[in-house]
Each structure stands twice: as structure tokens, then as C-alpha cells.
Structure 1
Amino acid sequence: MKNHLPKITHRKRFAAFLFLLLAHFSFGQVPNSYYLPQNVSYDPKIPTPQQYLGYQVGDWHIQHDALVGYFKKIAELSNRVQLTEYGRTYENRPLLLMTVSSPKNLSNIDKIKADHHALVEPEKSASLDTKNMPIVVWMGYSVHGNEASGTNASVLAAYYLAAAQGAEIDSLLNETVILIDPRINPDGGERFSSWVNANKSQNLVSDPNSRELNEMWPGGRYNHYWFDLNRDWLYTQHPESKGRIQKYHEWKPNILTDHHEMGPNSSFFFQPGIPARTHPLTPKKNIDLTEKIGKFHAEALDKIGSLYFTKEGYDDFYYGKGSTFPDVQGCIGILFEQASSRGHLQETQNGNMSFAFTVRNQFTTTLSTLKSARNLRQELLDYQRSFYQEKNASPVQSYVFGGGNDPVKVWEMTRILRQHEIDVYEVAKDETLDGKSFKKGTSFVVPLNQPQYRLIQGIFEKRTTFEDSLFYDISAWSMPHCFNVPYSEVKMPLTLGTKLTANDFPKGKVIGKSAYGYVFEWNSYFAPRAAYELQKKGYKLKVATEPFTGVIEGGTKEFSYGTIEITAGSNQQANFESLNTLLQTLAERDGVNFYGVKTGLTPTGIDLGSSYFAPIRQPKALMLTGYNVNPNDAGETWHLLDTRVNLPLTMADITQTNRMNLEKYNTLILSSGDYSALEEEKIKTWVRNGGVLIAMTDAVNWVVAKGLSPVKIKAIPADTSAPKPYALAERYKGAQQIGGAIFQVKIDPTHPIGYGFKENTLSVFRDNTIFLEKIKDPYNAPLIYTNEPLVSGYVTERNKKLLKNTPSVVATSFGAGKVIVMTDNPNFRAFWYGTNKLFLNAMFFGSTILSGVRGGED
């Protein structure tokens, strides 16, 4: 197959024969011997999965309550097992971690954990004796809920490790601590298992067109809010990730496996992936050890006749993925990808493939991983120790971040860093670096002279040169740019202040009590949540479209565009007497300062009764969902509004929307998707009557095609270069895509879309090739790409040229309504805090945008 695994080449033909034979054999219920090694005996007091569940693994897709019950039963009966619940999902399902080792090790597990954690602490690790130290292996299954063979294999793994008897298993458990995370995504897994089990026939149907094999939108891949949890290992925005990463750092495993599925017409993949697509911060030794481990997988899969491949398709670049996150921390991450049956049986180009067959491959490589861990135990332990003993060789000595106008985003950045056991310090004194001011008390230092220096670089660095131009995932994720927080790379010694031992939320205050009214700035990340809470309780709000100076307790204060006012004059029907008490609660909860104003007459700028204070409509939003809508992008919007703004969002499928009365909504959200089935005239009439339509990324195509916006999309020039070899076609076409990079735009803070932003530039995330032509009236383009837009990540020169000086956001009128198009995704993966405000501004202030260049009509 490949020269690094030479002994398998002569077996390919025999393996293909066995693949078809075994797949055929496993269409019906299979015996335990199909899965389990038969050269050992099994403890009869530990029930087999079939005895506990009432069916054989592979006959049905296990549901989460049954999985939890079986793991609890094993923990109850086996002295080799400890079971921990490390969190709860959004749907309140338990997240489990099973620790398996010898009874002797388990009785001393806290010391083993402490000794193992000391491997990553250079001041302690040199004295550790790795000859007698157990290795730690983390087995993670089915982060994508509809890739179910992993979770069902975890059931077999738990049984085997608890019940197998003999010298070999005793030796394995004496030398190894095994951590089993059986279902990383219980909410998605339950959604999927319910679907395929409900649509299973007694006579299995293998036709790929079968309803069983085509789950309903959004599918089981995602968690409750339709996020891909395999992209959340680094920035930990979801409860599943937060709990799992806490356990990861408690243990610092030596091997972490990540069991996935891929298209049914493939075979089985295990790492290494494509070497040129490994992140440069990952040591070459990591790849070497991955190859050594791979030989154990090849040997095991050869024995059962399964086809497989390596060094193709998949990469190890983005550190937010499960199999790559460990690589920057002295651990070996291993990705497994099994061709999916999706249901219980499916026709493939390799013949009919059963669910049981897919489970068997995942369980087989579970055992081969454990065998490799035992055989390479000391080498892997020594590698982890040496990984953390190396010193930073980069000219950057520390990163300083903070300041800006929003301490909430700084607080969240700090939470993430500290979760990854990264030391964060206060600045010792006020600093001016790269022309930016970093004040003591609001700014922080992350020195690279600490064990996690590689991870720190992976989080903060900007990178624009690459060995390869294709990426399985995004090519840039620099934290300060994601959060729009000022930072500086410091290449000189910097005196450190106090090391952070806590990270308290930056509560706001109510400054002065007023019978006239209050104002608050739109700077805080949670200002929209405070505004919506006030609207929900009946208070009418207005937004300043010009700056002013307010008379407040202790003197005066300048307030900028986007400041919100709540005055007694505008709220005569509301309980204004109780407002101060409510504001106290919101200030602490949302990190917002509220200022009592003594008078409506201002020393400078607009007065509080000016018509330049525009009324803010309470958002009543509808988002279109369903087939042809990207679940990730739609889920990001749902999550933002539901969990961070506390704003109820109605979601309806396109066909349902075509039948609905839209009058109760004032905001319509089109996330990435194909809206060709949407009734054009219905939407035009709704916008014309005063609605605000927000279209993001490729939803812009539909809006432009229907004449709702005057913008024009650039045609991408055809490739007229010299003929290229056919074999390079896929690589060339892939390189022309923007897989995920960071770009700089100029932002207008005086435009309602720019309210609350302090600087005149902003970093945005882009993963598409929709380029807009320049528009005639620049006042309607509050965000425009700079002349040199690339900040970090990969982009071709052609695409960079198409992008520069073009609009990123355009807001225009259509009748009495507004149409706001955004070529970039402001809510990307929940960790792009820096641009969430753009989207929320469109929701809260879209109706206040003055008419300029209009769409198809007045």
C-alpha cells in the first residue's frame, strides 16, 4: 500500500475478498466471537453487551440511556473500572469518562495522575522514572453523533477491558491507564440513533435511497445547537468541550484516539495524514511515533481482512480538532475514519456493508491502539517529557493583550487560556507597545517561558506562508483577532505582574440614581442582552446617532455613537421607579455601566430629546432553516441569540415560511444556504413594508439575484494559464477556495452596523469566494476590505486581488425596509466574539439606518 507499511502490499487481494465475505456474514446477528478476541476467557459476572441490552452490538444503534446504564453496570461489578460524569449536554444528557486500569493502579489513581501530570512540568519531570510509570490512553468516540460505529465499539471496549482474563490483559492494565469517552456528542448521537432505529426494517434495506440512510435535517452530526464539536477543542464554547478539556488537562494523556466515519464508498483511514499538512509547531517526532503506532493498526486490520489507507486526505493543521489538539501538547492524536453504513446496511462500491462490520473495525483499532501503547510505553512517556522540556526558540517572548473598550471579551480570552493550563499575568505597569496602550488592571501578559509555549504560539500566532495550499479545515484562528482585542507580540524582556489565580467576571455598575433617565454605551459584549431585557420588560430605548456629552454624577462624560438612552419621558407607561433596581441586576450580570443623567440638556452634542436619538425596535426575529440551509451557520446564530442575548428566535423551514404570515416578525435572517425555493414576492412585500432582511455569506446570492440589494457579485475569472496535469486538478481547484482565513476591514463606527466598535479596523473571518463589486454610495458600505486585507491564513493571489477594497457589509433600503448583506460569517463557531456585534447591530439598529443608495424600488 505504502512503503512505510511494506508488509501489507501482498495481502490486498486477499483483504478485499475477506472484506466482502465478512461484510456478508455480518448482515444478521453476529456471535461475540465476531468482535471479541477468543484467546482469552471472560469474567461471567460482567454481562456482555448482548446480555445487558437484549440485542447484539450492531443489530441496533445504542441509545444514550442504555449506554449510560451499561457503563454504570460495569463500574458497579468490576474492580478495574471507575466511572465519572464530567458534564451535561445542553439537553441534560450525562457525559461519561470511564477509567480502566488494574485494581492496584485504581487504588493509587490520584498519585498516578499527579505523577503523570508532572511529566509536563519541567521542574519536576527530570526526576520521574518512566520505566515503571503507566501510560495514559484516551479513547474518544463519535464526536459526530451520526458516526455511530465509534460509540457502539466503545461498548465492546468497556466489556473487554472489564471482563477479559489472563496474563496479557493483566499486564496491559498494570502498564496502562485507559480513559474511555464513549459518546462525546450524546445529543447528536441520540438524534441519529432514534432516526435509524425508527426507520429500520426487519428485512434490512441496503438501498442508499432508503429513508433509514438519509436522516432528516440537521442530522445527528451536530450537538443541540448544530455545532460541530470536533472544532471546539481549543476555544471550548460548549459544555461538552469544557468538561472534556478539564479532564484532558487533569491527565495529559500520551495517546488520544478520535473515532470517526466517512463516506460509505471508502474503506478505513488511520493516521498519519498528509505530512505536508501538519502544523509546523508539531514536532517531527510526533509523526514518527504516529507511523510506529500505525503499524499496529495495519497488523490488526490485516488479520481481519479490512481494507485501509494512510497519508491521504486528512491533515493535522488546525489545533481545534480532536486528533490535532493533542499534537501541540506532547500527546499523539490518532484519527480513525471508518466508511459509514449510516444505518444498518448499505450498498457500496466494495459490496454491501453492515453496521456490525464498521463497529468491528473501530473495536479492532481500539485494541491495536492499546497494544501499541503497551509496546511503545516508555518511548511515548519520554517523548512527552522531552516535549515540555524544550524551550521557546521564537523571537517572541510574550504576548500582551487587553484594553480596548470591552472587558468581557478579555475575560473570556483569559478563561480559555487558563483552562488550557496557560499561565496569565497582569501587566506590572502601564505599557505602550506597537502604539497601543495597555493599562495595569485591564491588560495581561502571557509569557512563552512556560511549558505550554507551543500551544500559546498556536493560539496567538499569525501565519501566512504554508508548505501546502489545501486544508481539511480552517487555516487561521488567532485568538486576539477572533475576539477583536488589542494585543502585541513582545520580543524583549517584560516585567510580569501578579499571576492570575482567579478570573472574575467584570461586573458593571449603576453610576448615580436619576429621575430623568439613564444611558449606557454599546461597548460591552453583553450590552444587547441588557437592551433586550429592558425591552422585554416594556422599556422603550433609543440609540444616539450622534455623539454627545452627558451630565452625570461627579461631572460630565463623553458618549459616542450607539449610546442607548432610557428616559422617563419616553417611558411614561413603564414603572420607571423600579428601573434603578433592574439596572443594578443587569450591570452585574452583563458587565454594563449605566449612567444616571441629571438633565436632558447636554454641554456638547445632541440633547437627550433630539430626533438624532432613534427609537429601537424590539427584535422579533425569524430564521429560515431546513434542507439546503447550512446547519452550522444557522446553529451559530441560534446559539448566539438564545444563550448570549436571551432573545427568542423563531425558526421555520423554507416551505413552512412560504405558507406563513410574516407580519409578526420585523427581522428575517438568511444564513448560508440555497434559498431558491423561497417565495420571492412574499419576501419582497415583507421587506417593502418595513422588515429588516439580514443575509450572510452565500445567502447573498439569492438576495442579489432577486433584486433586493443593488450590490453586484464579482465574476471569478476563468483559469487561462497553461495546461496542467490531470492529476493536479483536485489540488489546484482546492487551493482556489478560501477554506477559512482572517482578513482586515475598515469599519465605520458612525454607521449603525459599526456602533460599539472603538477602532477603525476590524478582523473578520471568511470561508467563501463571494466578492462584491464596489458600490456607488460608500456610505452604505460600513465595512470595506483594506488594500492589503490578509491577516492570517491561506489565500491565493487571485482571491486576494478580488477581495481588496471591496465591501464586506452593505446596508440599503428596499421600500420602507432594509436589506443588509454580509459576505462573511460574523458568528463563526461561537468563538468569533469580535464580530458578533456586527450581526447584533443589524438586528437592533437595522431599521434606524438612513436611506442612501436604494435597492430595486423606493
Structure 2
Amino acid sequence: MPRITQFLLLLCLLLCTRAPAQTTNSEDERPLTYYLPDLAYDPDIPTPEEFLGWQIGDWHISHDLQQAYMRLLAASSDRITLVEIGKSYEQRPLLNLIFTSPENQGRLDELRELHVNWNAADGGLSENDIDRVPAVLYQGFSIHGNEPSGANAAPLVAYYLAAAPMSEVGKVLDNNIVVFDPSYNPDGLNRFASWVNSHKNKALTADPADREYNEAYPRGRSNHYWFDLNRDWLPVQHPESRARIAAFHRWMPNVLTDHHEMGKDATFFFMPGAPTRVHPSTPKINQELTAKIGTFHAAALDQIGSLYYSGEGYDDFYYGKGSTYPDIHGAVGILFEQASSRGHLQETENGELNFPFTVRNQVTTALSTLSAFAELRNDLLTYQRDFTIGGVTQDGYVIEADNDPGRARELANILARHDLPVQHGGSGETEAYYVPKTPFSEAAFEPILEFEDSLFYDVSTFSLPMAFNLPFRKVSGGTPGDRNWTAYNMEADMPAVDHAAADYAYLLPANDYYSSKAIYRLLDRGVRVKVSDQPFSIGSAANSFGRGTIMVPVVGQSMSAEELHAIITEVENETHLDFIPAGSGTVDAGGLMFGSRSAYQTLRKPEIALIVEGGTSSLDAGEVWHLLDQRFDIPITKLPMDEVGSTDLSRYNTIIMVDGNYRDIGTQGTEALQNWMGRDRVLITTERAGTWAAENGLATIKTRKVANPDSSITQRPYEKAYRDYSGRVLGGSIYQAKADLTHPLLFGMQREEIPLFRTGTLLYEPAKNVYATPLRYSDEPLLSGYSPRQFAKAAAGSAGVIVSSKNGGRTISFASNPNFRGFWYGGNRLFMNAIMFGHTISGSAVE
């Protein structure tokens, strides 16, 4: 071993090794062979225990220690190339360890190209080349941070691949490549490890009531912004997902594994899942290969005596999960679910469940995956080649930008991140994007209304254009000839804007998704900003402005005309939106003059509090936090529910309450909100928060009852009870609403029909005031997805949003979540309008 390498290893051990705060009892000590086969491992490769100073399972590994050990392994072994593929929000490195034989390490790029070309129709390879094409396995761990057995198993599996004799691992490493992702969710993993390690007893307690097993809000499952990253493989809204999806398409694995945990009273699950709940775009051979791989897991778990099951409970329907995303790319996704100790020891119906046991099961199935992968490599390679080449067509989809460049560009970015060759054409009202039809784009675009089963582990539909409220159509023969199409590059510089100075006023149309960002920037700099509630034009038809246009007068500001122009220029550079100068306060057609008080309302800078903790949905709260913080650079206060009553609420003019249970807010908090409501104050609620507001005098909402379609049935077999109950659940479908485009909540929107995502069956009756329901569901609202019997009929005509009033303030209540998973751009456009323009809604148009 070179001296510099020895020095680095010693330095890493000295700096990174943490002595244990306590030792385990002798009867609890576990040798390496508790987890791994008893082999002659390379003594120059440090074991996890040698590095940590304690055995895996004694404590929960933190991400910093995990990644330090991975770097040490990479420096110690000639079987590893370590790649940092990105960073989490909290700037924790996202690592890939590329395992293959030492001989292959020097030709990784060549081998990757061979693998990619094998799956290309014009790659120059035939079926006869299969023996020289490497298969690729992607092993990933613990995308939910508080499902830690996977991430704690990762150091042991990595050690096995690095240190086991080549006689043991040669079949995997000589002909193939393993891409190893030790922690899908570093921020959540670290949050959880800190919690359970901080609350661990020396004399372990298995009592589930102990604080160790009851994490504080928002818990460790999610990432920094409280998102479930295992639902983000399709939306790719977060850096962890973007890095992972880029790595997936760089390597195009044949198998991808996803190690999870489930409830403590379960055992161990491995794919395949329920056979009737597979997406119709997934070919039958995929499930057959999954089942063959499953036989390896069963044999390995039999050998150590662990209980397990397969073929039920979980499914392969939503392509936004780690175990299903590979299935639409010619790979095989494998979900593992281990019963969770959540901390170090828990009482369960199967006896006491300790943390080391959960780790051992994950290690065992990670190793059985290696065996299955090596044995089935040719079958896996053939399947992926046939799937990929067979999916090539001359058809495609055209997505209209709908006069909203920002929203359309974000959809194009998602498609490009999935390695689709996106084309861009036209500008202004003719702007559009084209993407070829592939198995993935077809699944991500087309609505679905027919299902073999009525049960879903996750959502039943996920049409991306509908999420963005963008019209799209299928075309044949490639890109249409109606535009000049060029390859879209999301890294390309944005078009320059004209920084012309205005003599009288600056105008900003409301059509672009990011107009709210520009408005906030101006207000934050002390600029007086007004909004028009009427369309108008100046000069020519080319200068037509819709409702919601922003007007910034030059006079009457707290700064000079030159200083105002400098601010406008700065905002243009930040947002890439073009403010149009106006030389007069007179309009040429439509609308009223710029000085009209009835047509132009003055905006106030939003000062926002988001109520969190208690019974609120951390997922929904995280979506709001992420939306405002990441996309619009608007600061918010995350206000704990139990502090509402003792906080000076007068510093906020906007309070947001997401779906959840608000009983913990108490009398004092309720009264504080009631007293806070007043002129220019806006309360925004979603789903059940709206019903709480109505019950406490902060909104005027009446819910609509949904009839039970089975009410006439007097007797059913007991065995049908679970399926009957589950079939009444609305896990996630898309419904169409019709909008009043003259309303401030719809400023900037182009079409009356708006797709909304719904989970749950809560419905609002339309307001008695005919102007207070600017969005209501269509007569035949179901666009895509499974709908419980009679629910679509019940939803028809119900309110999508209701505006009510108290003490001169406005309560804006959304019947569904407009910000679903951070990618429902069409819905959160309405949500941002509620924040920016809600206080301007006329008192005559509220309930």
C-alpha cells in the first residue's frame, strides 16, 4: 500500500472514529459473522467496527460517519471508484461507490458506454455481444430517514464487496458493475439518528411509549423540506432526487433495490407485490424476473430463520417510487420492507425486535440480490434491450406553453431530467415543447380511467401536463412542421430582457408563473406596486395586458426614478421577466386609466406565518415551506401550533393552515386567530383546516356529504371487508374544475378548465354568495385515476375554493391541496395568487 494512502487512512481513522459513549453488554456483542458470511476478508480493508469503535447495531450511524467510512473504503480498495453525485439541501454529500473488479476500474467509461449502447437501436451491438456487455445493479438504502436499518446495513454490504475474496464476489464484479448508494436521504437519516441515539437507554427498554420511539415533528422520514423522497422519483423537485435520477440514467441499471422499513408488528417483505396492482405499462416479463429474484431472497432468509412474505400488500403502480421507477425503463425495481424497531428495541406481536436483527435482514437480502443479479445477468440484459429498443416510435407529444413561459419551462426541465430529448419551438403565444413518445412519457402523460384493482399503495394517476395545467396533444411522425424546433437545454442562459426605463409606469403581465417572485422582490425593496383587475391595451394589440397586470408608477415612490429603474432592472435580471415601460396613464382599449382606484389595487408585502406541528400534515406544510422558500425566495415563519396563542400575530398579514387536526391549538390559540383577523389580513386553509376554521368562526363553509354506495347492502362476507373499505378510499386522482378567470385568485390563468389533484373525499358546498366560489368542479369532473363509486358524481358542482370574510379580513379555503408533492404547478399558481392578491378581493364577493 503506498505511504500516502496509509497516511490518509490513519488520518481518517484518527479524525473520523468516534469512541462509543457506552459499551454493549457481553451477551449483546455481535461478531462480523452475525451479519456476513464467515470468509477470509482482506485484512487491509477496515471493518465498520474497526472504524467506528462499535459494532453496527449498537448505535444508529449518523450520515457523517457513514460517508467517512465509505470514503475510507474507497481509499482502501482497488474495487471502488467513489463519485460525489450531488449534495442534499443541508449540504451533505450524496455518494455513489462504483464497484467492479480492479481490472475493470481502469475502463469504467468504456464499460458504461458498452452498457448504454447495448440498449440503443443504433448502438452498434447485437445479441451476440451480450457476454462482453456488463450488467448494472444499483443498490440504494433508506430513502426514509427513520427507516434506518438499510443505511446501517450499507457499510456492511460495502465492506463485503470491498473485502470478500474474489472467489466469493468475482461472479458479480468480474462481468458487471454495482452502483452503490449508501444513503438516499442524508438529512432525514441524520435527524433520526440524532433522535434515537440521544434517547437511548443503557438498559434498553422495548416499551413503545418510551420517548426514543416517539420522534418529534416532522420526524426523520422526510428530507430537509419535509418531503417524502420516495414519491419524488417522478417529480424530481429536490437535489437528492435530481442527483439520483441523473445517476440512474447515466448507468441505466438492470436492477435497482430500495431498502425500507414498515410497522413493527410485520416481518420482512420483498417484491413482487400484489399482482393485480401493477401499472399496465409494465410488461409481464418484469414481474416474472422480479419473482425469480425473489426466490433468492426467500432462500437466504430461510437460512437465517427470518419470517417473510411477498406477493401482497405493496404494488408496482406509481412510477414515482424507487421500486417502480425502474420498471418503466426496462429495469427491475425491488422493494424491501423490514419490520422496524424504530430505535434499538421494541415489543411486537412477534416478540422483541432489536435493531441488529433488522439490519441483518437487510444485509442478507442485499447479498441475495448480488447472487440473483449475477445468476440472471443475461436475462436482465436481454429484457432491458428488448424493452428499450421496442419502445422507440415516431410518435410524440406537443405541450403548449399556454402563454406561461415559467410554468412550461419547469415541465420541460422535469422531462429533460428523465433523459428525454425535449425540443423547444415558437415564442409568446406559439411557444411549445415536444417530447417523443416512450414507455415513460406515455405513462407520465396519458390519463388512465380503467383499473384491474381498486386498491392502491399510492396515487392512481400522475399525468405531468395536467399537473402543470398545460394543454398537450399526441402527434405522429416526429416534431410537427408548424414551428422551428431546437433541442432544449435546461442549462442554457435565459433570454435577455430589455431594461428600458419608463417615464410614467412599468407594467408586468401576470401570465408568467414567476410573476409573484417579481412582485415580492419589488415590495421587499419598498416599491409601491398596484394590480389591475381589468384587461387593457396600450399602443397596439401587441401590448395587450390581462387581469392581474402589475403597474408600478414612477412618481409617488420613496425613491428617485433612477433608483426605481435600478431596482426594476435588478428584478428583471433575477426573474428574467420583462417589465414594459409606459409613457402615459391613459389606456387605448379596455380597462381604466392608471390612476383609477377602482381598477388598480395597492398590494402589501406578504408577511407569512405557516402553522406547523401538532396535528398538521408535515408533508403539506413542507410543500408550502419549499414553495415559498425555494421557488419564490419569500421568507416565512414556521409557527408551532402550541405557540399561536402566545405569539404576537400582528406582525403577520398572512397565515397559512394546511390539512390536519387543529384541536391542539387550544382556546387561547383559537381566540388569537379570531382577534388577528381584520383588514388586509388573509387566512389560507387547505382541506380539513378549512372545516376547523368554519367551526371556529373564521370561515363560512358547509361540507357536502358523500353517500355510501353500499348503504343498501345488508350482509357481506367477512373476507370482503378490507377490500370494500379500501375501495372507498380516494388515494389520489385528478378532477377538473371550472374557474372564474376574472377573479383575483385566477389572475394570469389562460383557460377556465383547471385540473386539480385530490386525495380524500372531503367536499365543500358552493357558497351562497355567487361570487365567492371562483372555482368549482365540473359536471363530469374525473379526468384521470381511480374514483370511489359515486364520488365523482358527488364532487360535480362542489366548490374547489371558497372565499369568506371576518372582521374585514379574507379566509381563502381550498377544498384540496393545491401544492401536491411540490409539482402541482397549476394548483400552486392559485395558491400564490391567494398570498399576493387575496387581500384585494372585494367585500361584496365573499361569503
TM-score, reference length from structure 1: 0.92
2-structure distance, mates of 1:388, 1:492: 19
| Structure 1 gaps, min length 5 | 1-23, 431-436
Measured in 2, the distance between the counterparts of 1:133 and 1:492 equals 33
Name which of structure 1's ranges 769-778 and 803-812 shifts more when overlaid on structure 2.
Answer: 769-778
Q: CA 1:404/1:455 → structure 2, altered by over 3 Å: closer, same or farther?
A: same
**Aligned AA (1:482):** A
Q: Secondary structure at the match of 2:54?
A: coil
Residue 18 of structure 1 is matched in structure 2 by none
| Aligned twin of 1:683 | 673
Residues in 1 aligned to 2:804 and 2:284: alpha-carbon distance in whole angstroms = 52
1:236 alignment counterpart: 236
Amino acid at match of 1:45: D
Pairwise mapping of residues 53-452 of structure 1 onto structure 2 (< 5 A)?
53-124=52-123, 126-127=125-126, 129-391=129-391, 397-426=395-424, 439=430, 442-448=431-437
Query: Aligned residue for 2:15?
Result: none
- Of the three residues 458, 461, 471, the one matched with 2:443 is 458
Q: Is 1:743–1:792's contact at 8 Å kept on the other side of the alignment?
A: yes
Cα deviation for residue 850 of structure 1 reads 0.6
Residue 157 and residue 751 in structure 1: after superposition, are their counterparts in 2 closer, same or farther (change >3 A)? same
Instruction: Call closer, same or farther: CA 1:852–1:736 in 2, change over 3 Å.
Output: farther
Deviation at 1:568, TM superposition (A): 2.2
Amino acid at match of 1:293: I
Determine the C-alpha separation between the residues in 1 that align with 2:414 and 2:588.
Answer: 43
Letter of the structure 2 residue corresponding to residue 412 of structure 1:
E
Hey, what does 2:16 align to over in structure 1? Answer: none
Q: Number of paired residues?
A: 813
Report the equivalent of 2:683. Answer: 693
The answer to whether 1:514 aligns with 2:513 is no
Letter of the aligned partner of 1:683 in structure 2?
A: L
Q: Which SS does the other structure have where 1:75 is aligned?
A: helix
Q: Which amino acid aligns with 2:86?
A: G
Q: CA deviation at 1:734?
A: 1.5
Q: Go from structure 1 to structure 2 and tell me whether the alpha carbon gap of 1:419 and 1:853 turns closer, same or farther (over 3 Å shift).
A: closer
Per the alignment, in what secondary structure is the counterpart of residue 41 of structure 1?
Answer: coil
2 CA distance for matches of 1:164 and 1:648?
51
2:776 to 766, 776, 784: 784
Q: Secondary structure at the match of 2:454?
A: coil
2:35/2:363 contact within 8 Å kept: yes
- Cα distance, 1:127 vs. partner? 2.1
1:489 counterpart residue number: 474
User: Is contact 2:511-2:749 (8 Å) kept?
Assistant: yes
Pair 1:853–1:423, CA change in 2 (3 A): closer
Post-superposition CA distance 1:682-732 (Å, at most 9, x none): 211111455211000121220122232222001232431322222222212
| Residue equivalent to 1:568 | 554
Structure 1 residue 830 displacement after superposition: 1.2
CA contact (8 A) 1:827 1:835 kept: yes
- In 2, Cα distance between equivalents of 1:659 and 1:689: 22
| 1:372-408 Cα deviation digits (max 9, x unpaired) | 0111111111111111121468xx9321112311111
Following superposition, the deviation at residue 851 of structure 1 comes to 1.3
Deviation string, structure 1 residues 123-170 (Cα, Å, up to 9, x no partner)? 226425112333211001000000000001001011111111141222
Between stretches 50-59 and 846-855, larger displacement belongs to: 846-855
Per mean C-alpha deviation after superposition, the further-off stretch among 596-605 and 147-156 is: 596-605
Letter in 2 for 1:488: R
Q: 1:660 aligns with which of 624, 637, 647?
A: 647
What letter is aligned with 2:744? P
2:791 aligned residue = 799
Shift of the alpha carbon at 1:555? Answer: 8.5
Greater mean alpha carbon deviation, residues 141-150 or residues 498-507: 498-507
The 10-residue stretch of structure 1 (364-373 or 61-70) with the greater mean CA deviation from structure 2: 61-70
Structure 2 equivalent of residue 539 of structure 1:
527
- Alignment check: 8 A CA contact 2:645 2:671 kept: no
1:484 Cα deviation after fit: 1.4
C-alpha separation in 1, matches of 2:766 and 2:154: 55
Q: Deviations over 1:394-427 (max 9, x none)?
A: xx93211123111112212222222222122345
Q: Does 1:713 find its partner at 2:703? A: yes
Counterpart Cα distance in 2 of 1:460 and 1:273? 24
Alpha-carbon contact 2:323-2:334 (below 8 Å) kept:
yes
Residue aligning to 1:48:
47
Please state if 1:586 is matched with 2:571. yes
Deviates more, 1:166-175 or 1:644-653: 166-175
Q: CA deviation at 1:778?
A: 2.0
Match of 2:95, SS state, is: strand
**How do residues 761-776 of structure 1 correspond to structure 2 at under 5 angstroms?**
761-776=753-768
Distance 1:381 1:391 in 2: 15
Q: Contact 1:508/1:590 (CA < 8 Å) preserved in 2? A: no
2:594 aligned with 1:608: yes
Could you tell me which residue of structure 2 aligns to residue 9 of structure 1?
none
Cα distance between partner residues in 2 of 1:559 and 1:171? 67
Q: Is the CA contact (8 Å cut-off) linking 1:510 and 1:596 kept in structure 2?
A: no
Residue 331 of structure 1 aligns with an amino acid whose one-letter code is A
Q: Is the 8 A contact 2:504 2:585 kept in 1?
A: yes
The match for 1:558 among 530, 536, 544 is 544
Measure, in 2, the Cα distance between the counterparts of 1:469 and 1:125: 44
Classify the secondary structure of the residue corresponding to 1:543.
Answer: strand
Write out per-residue CA displacement over residues 653-707 of structure 1, whole angstroms, 9 at most, x where no aligned residue.
1111121111111111000111122232221111145521100012122012223
Distance in 2 separating the partners of 1:624 and 1:288: 47
1:13 maps to which residue? none
CA offsets, 1:161-220, max 9 Å, x none? 111114122232112211110011000000000000000011111100010011110000
Partner of 1:640, secondary structure, is helix
**Residues 732-754 of structure 1, C-alpha deviations (whole Å, 9 max, x = no match):** 22221211111111111111111
Task: Give the SS at the match of 2:661.
Answer: coil
**Runs of at least 5 residues in structure 2 that lack an aligned partner in the other structure:** 1-23
Kindly provide the CA deviation profile for residues 594-642 of structure 1, in whole angstroms up to 9, marking residues without a partner as x.
1111011222321111012011111001110012111110000000000
Partner residue of 1:623 out of 593, 597, 610? 610
- 1:591 CA drift (Å): 3.2
| Range that drifts further, 400-409 or 496-505 | 496-505
- 1:66-102 per-residue CA deviation (whole Å, 9 max, x = no partner) reads 1111111111110011111100111010000001110
Contact 2:610 2:638 (8 Å CA) reproduced = yes
Distance 1:135 1:29, change over 3 A: same
Task: State the Cα distance separating 1:575 from its structure 2 match.
Answer: 3.7
The alignment partner of 1:256 has SS state of strand
Where 1:818 maps in the other structure, the secondary structure is strand
RMSD after superposition: 2.0
**Residues 411-420 or 631-640, more deviating:** 411-420
What is the distance in 1 between the residues matched to 2:754 and 2:466?
8
Decide which of 458, 467, 470 is 2:452's aligned counterpart.
467
Q: Distance in 1 between matches of 2:812 and 2:391?
A: 49
- Give distance in 2, aligned partners of 1:229 and 1:769: 25
Q: Secondary structure at the match of 1:677?
A: helix
CA distance in 1, matches of 2:208, 2:89: 32
Confirm or deny: 8 A CA contact 2:449 2:785 kept in the other structure: yes
Report the AA paired with residue 584 of structure 1. T
State the AA in 2 paired with 1:603. Answer: D
Which residue pairs with 1:736 in the alignment?
A: 728
Residues 324-333 or 507-516, more deviating: 507-516
* Cα pair 2:614 2:642 within 8 Å, conserved: no
**1:457/1:282 Cα in 2 relative to 1: closer, same or farther (>3 Å)?**
same
Q: Tell me the TM-score normalized by structure 2.
A: 0.93
Counterpart-to-counterpart distance in 2, 1:662 and 1:588 = 34
The 8 Å contact of residues 709 and 854 in structure 1, kept in 2 or not, is answered as: no
What amino acid maps onto 1:134 in structure 2?
P
CA 26–835 in structure 1, closer or farther in 2 if over 3 Å, else same: farther
Q: What SS does the aligned partner of 2:829 have? A: helix
Q: Secondary structure at the match of 1:535?
A: helix
Q: Distance in 2 between matches of 1:230 and 1:355?
A: 23
